[in-house]
C-alpha cells in the first residue's frame, strides 16, 4: 500500500509533500526539498505552522481547518554530520550497486572473520535515502553480528 500524497507544490523546482504515515489518522508527515528546505530552517516553528496551515486550508478547501496542535521538525540542512545530504541512485546505477555497498568486508564466505559491517540508508536497496532505510539496515547488520556469535539464533529478519 502506497502513502497517499495530499499535497505537492511545484515538484519541478521545489517540493512540499504532505502524507499520512501508515495507520495514522492524527499525524501528517511533510517533506520540503530544494532551496526552500534551507529557507525553512531560518523560520520559527510558529511561522512554519502558519504556512503549513495555509497550505492545508488551500488544498482541502476548508478555510476553517484548525491549525496543527504541534510540530516536530528536523533541520537536516544545517545538521553538522549530514549538511542536507542523503543517498540516491545515480543514472546508470542499479540496486546491485546498493547491495555491493552493504557487503561486509572481507566478503562473506571468505576464510577471514568479518571485520567491517556497513549500515545506513545508502545500503538499503528498497529504502535508500530514508530514515527507515537506515534503521532497517542497522537491524540487518545487528542480525549479522548475532548470527556470527550464535549461528543457531532465531533472527527476526530479513529486514525488507
Q: How far is CA 139 from the centre of its chain?
A: 15
pTM for the model stands at 0.56
Please state, as a whole number, how many other Cβ atoms lie within 10 Å of the Cβ of residue 87: 17
How confident is the prediction for the chain on average, in pLDDT?
A: 78
Buried b (16+ CB within 10 A) or exposed e, 16-28: bbbbeeeeeeeee
Distance between CA atoms of residues 25 and 132, nearest Å: 20
Average pLDDT rounded to a whole number, residues 106-125 = 81
Average pLDDT value for residue range 49-73: 88
Q: How far apart are CA 143 and CA 140, in angstroms?
A: 5
pLDDT tens per residue, range 129-150: 887 888 889 989 998 888 888 8
Could you state, in order of their start, the residue ranges of all structural domains in the chain?
A: 1-84, 95-149
Amino acid at each position: 500500500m502506497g502513502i497517499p500524497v495530499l499535497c505537492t507544490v511545484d515538484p519541478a523546482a521545489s517540493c512540499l509533500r504532505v502524507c499520512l504515515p501508515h495507520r495514522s489518522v492524527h499525524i501528517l508527515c511533510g517533506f520540503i526539498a530544494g532551496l526552500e528546505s534551507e529557507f525553512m530552517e531560518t523560520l520559527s516553528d510558529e511561522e512554519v505552522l502558519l504556512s503549513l496551515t495555509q497550505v492545508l486550508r488551500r488544498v482541502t478547501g476548508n478555510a476553517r481547518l484548525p491549525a496543527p496542535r504541534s510540530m516536530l521538525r528536523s533541520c537536516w540542512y544545517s545538521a553538522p554530520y549530514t549538511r542536507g545530504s542523503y543517498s540516491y541512485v545515480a543514472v546508470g546505477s542499479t540496486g546491485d550497486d546498493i547491495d555491493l555497498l552493504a557487503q561486509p568486508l572481507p566478503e562473506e564466505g571468505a576464510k577471514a572473520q568479518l571485520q567491517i559491517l556497513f549500515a545506513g540508508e545508502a545500503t538499503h536497496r528498497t529504502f535508500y535515502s530514508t530514515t527507515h532505510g537506515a534503521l532497517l539496515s542497522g537491524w540487518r547488520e545487528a542480525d549479522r553480528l548475532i548470527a556470527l556469535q550464535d549461528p543457531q539464533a532465531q533472527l527476526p529478519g530479513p529486514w525488507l
